[in-house]
Amino acid sequence: MKPLILISNDDGIQAQGIQELIKMLRPLGDLFVVAPDQARSGAAGSITSPLPITINTVTLENGLTVYACTGTPTDCVKLALDQLLVRRPNLVVAGINHGSNASINLHYSGTVGAAREGALHGIPSIAFSLCSEEVNEGDFIPMEEYVVHICQSILQEDIPFGTLLNVNFPPTSEYNGIRVCRMGYSAWENEFTATERPRGGRYYWLGGDHVDEEPEATDTDLNALQEGYIAVTPLKIDETDYELKQLMESWDL
Amino acid sequence: MKPLILISNDDGIQAQGIQELIKMLRPLGDLFVVAPDQARSGAAGSITSPLPITINTVTLENGLTVYACTGTPTDCVKLALDQLLVRRPNLVVAGINHGSNASINLHYSGTVGAAREGALHGIPSIAFSLCSEEVNEGDFIPMEEYVVHICQSILQEDIPFGTLLNVNFPPTSEYNGIRVCRMGYSAWENEFTATERPRGGRYYWLGGDHVDEEPEATDTDLNALQEGYIAVTPLKIDETDYELKQLMESWDL
């Protein structure tokens, strides 16, 4: 039986990134796409609990099913696995995100959230991102062979339970290769722009400057991207800090 | 100078849990509260980027400032740190959440999201949750001495950079003590209820059954709660799976 690949994203079903991803992965197996019906950038692992969610059919072709969903990226993956799919997918792929999900950005990313949800269900899961806010169709062309290669590798090698892959591509047309990295530490500075409201008071726009806090480190995702490598970072769903756990056992708590 | 404590939550500023938390922490220092103006349960670490956010003043007393914010829990912490506070807080406290954020629920929790945002800014941060969906005023009374004790301990002991505490209380009036734990693995099953729409089609309500996947384990948060202990789990903001990272370096990627 052909591999079954579940696809989602956080930029919404209309985004160039997910459309390109569908084209790239079409030869690898049967594709089942459930993606937000609008942009959900920055959705992290959020879920919709106070209201119900709905879906609309976009495509029903042989080997390609596409639904647009009113929920978050995480809702999309949950709904596909619990209600829509008739068999368990071999792979969950999220993206291709428009913009970086390297470093601490993974904590805000709906794309990583969707892939994490796959991993929480014990399915090998990958989040792909292109580290460029301004994304054009042509920008995805050099990514294709690597996206396909990584997905094929994971379909063969599998990933141990409890881990997902966070894959970020530098915004270049040629890559120096793939580098397995750790999450680098970074910070967002000057995060908001405050603007006066016409009727008084202020409103705040989120934005800011992204600063690499470890510019000397050579093993981070940010460093790999800086040097023109594709950054592959394995992420655990168990966030426990075992080192501090041990230390805290001697605290007077 | 008195300690400055930044408080947020995901159940919204009107929730009993945050109101009780404010009362509990009032003697510990100056409190600065920025919380969502409505329930944002399940918001995880999501941020509001396509639209601006605003705040409304709720309370301006000596030692107690309260704002209601249109953003997510993570937005609230970001906005406080970037725009509203005149000095850096000594502690970020999120909660008290109505419902469990133990085990994999931490990935969906806006309360944990708010505390993680504090940790991302290098500030000692704690998420408190009461593992009961039905919360009454009296349920918080037995928590007080422990919430105060844990906050005082962290104000004294500090937490290493890059870690936050996820603290879950069992829904009992007496505790067997505090136990430092790891995140347990669990799963949500039968996650959605599908209902027919009056005009055709279906809508889906998220819910489901929470199943402990490691019922024999004695070191998990779920086990501690089961045995009547307060579960304290240190969480890392670096999600890198270092074991798999090393293994993957020998893969043909």
Mark yes or no for CB contact A45/B108 under 8 Å. Answer: yes
pLDDT of residue B23: 97
What is the SS3 assignment for A184?
A: coil
What pLDDT, in 10s, does the model give residues A216-225?
Answer: 999 999 999 9
Inter-CA distances, B184 with A160, B108, B110, B230, B234, Å: 17, 15, 19, 14, 12
Whether the per-residue pLDDT at A137 is higher than 80: the answer is no
What b/e sequence results for A23-33 when a residue is b if at least 16 CB atoms lie within 10 Å of its CB, and e otherwise? ebbeebbbbbb
Q: Is the pLDDT of residue B7 over 90?
A: yes
Chain A residue with minimum CA distance to B197 = A54
The pLDDT-based confidence of A26 (bands split at 50, 70, 90) is very high
What are the chain A neighbours of B82 within 8 Å (beta carbons)? Answer: 190-192, 208
Q: Where are the domains of chain B?
A: 4-183+216-248
Q: Which of A107, A150, A124, A123 is nearest to A21 (CA)?
A: A150
CB contact under 8 A, B244 and A253: no
Q: What is the pLDDT, as a whole number, of residue A198?
A: 86
Scan for tokens 């950079």, then name that residue. Answer: B161
Averaged over B223-246, what is the pLDDT?
A: 97
Please state, in angstroms and as integers, the Cα–Cα distance from residue B138 to each residue in A71, B100, B234, following that order.
Answer: 35, 18, 28
Set of chain A residues whose Cβ sits within 8 Å of the Cβ of B55: 204
pLDDT of residue B152 exceeding 90: yes
Q: Smallest Cβ distance to B41: which of A49, A53, A249?
A: A49
Q: How much is the pLDDT for A235?
A: 98
Instruction: Please give the average per-residue pLDDT across B131-159, as a whole number.
Output: 91
Task: List pLDDT tens digits, range A166-218.
Answer: 999 999 999 999 999 999 999 999 999 999 988 888 999 999 999 999 999 99
Cβ within 8 Å of residue A53, ≥6 positions away: A69, A70, A71, A75, A79, B203, B204, B206
Give A30 to chain B, closest Cα distance, Å: 23
Using the structure block, give the residue that is written with the tokens 């406290």: B93
Q: What is the pLDDT of residue A136?
A: 83
For B79, residues 6+ apart whose C-beta sits below 8 A from its C-beta are A191, A192, A204, B34, B53, B55, B69, B71
Contact in structure between A197 and A236 (CB atoms under 8 Å): no
3-state secondary structure of B206: strand
CA A198 to CA A102: how far, in whole Å?
A: 37
DSSP-derived secondary structure letter, B216: T
Give A-chain residues touching B101 at CB under 8 angstroms. none
Q: What is the rounded radius of gyration, in angstroms, for the C-alpha atoms of chain B?
A: 19
Domain A4-183+216-239's class? alpha beta
- In order of A167, A181, B145, the CA distances from B239 in angstroms are 14, 12, 32
What percent of chain B is modeled with pLDDT above 70? Answer: 100
Q: How confident is the model at residue B134, as a pLDDT?
A: 84
User: How far apart, in whole angstroms, are the C-alpha atoms of residue B240 and residue A23?
Assistant: 30
Instruction: Report residue B133 as tokens.
Output: 């969906």
Q: Distance between CA A86 and CA A190 in Å, rounded? A: 47
Residue B253 has pLDDT above 80, yes or no: no
Lowest mean pLDDT among A10-19, A147-156, B150-159: B150-159
Nearest CA to A17 out of A128, A126, A109, A151 is that of A128
**Total beta-carbon pairs less than 8 A apart between chain A and chain B:** 212
pLDDT at A100: 97
Q: Residue B133 pLDDT > 90, yes or no?
A: no
DSSP annotation of A149: H
Give yes or no for residue B127 having a pLDDT over 80.
yes
Sheet holding B30-36, edge to edge: B55-61, B64-69, B30-36, B4-8, B91-98, B125-130, B163-169, B230-236, B178-180
Mean pLDDT of B83-111: 97
At residue B192 the predicted structure's pLDDT band, cuts being 50, 70 and 90, is very high
CB-based burial of residue B183 (10 Å sphere; 0-12 exposed, 13-18 middle, 19+ buried)?
buried
Mean pLDDT of the residues in chain B: 95
Residue A186, H or E segment: strand A186-189
Q: By the 8 A CB rule, do B182 and B131 touch?
A: no
Note the pLDDT of residue A133: 80
∠ Cα A151 A157 A160 (to 5°): 105
pLDDT above 80: residue A253? no
The pLDDT assigned to B104 comes to 97
Indicate the Cα dihedral angle A192, A196, A200, A204, nearest 10°.
-20
Pick from B163, B181, B248: CB nearest A234: B248
Question: Confidence class of residue B114 from pLDDT cuts 50, 70 and 90?
Answer: very high
Instruction: Give domain B4-183+216-248's CATH number out of 3.40.1210.10, 3.10.440.10, 3.30.365.10, 3.30.565.10.
Output: 3.40.1210.10
Q: What is the token pair recorded at A181?
A: 């990295």
In angstroms, what separates the C-alpha of B84 from chain A's closest C-alpha? 11
The pTM score is 0.96
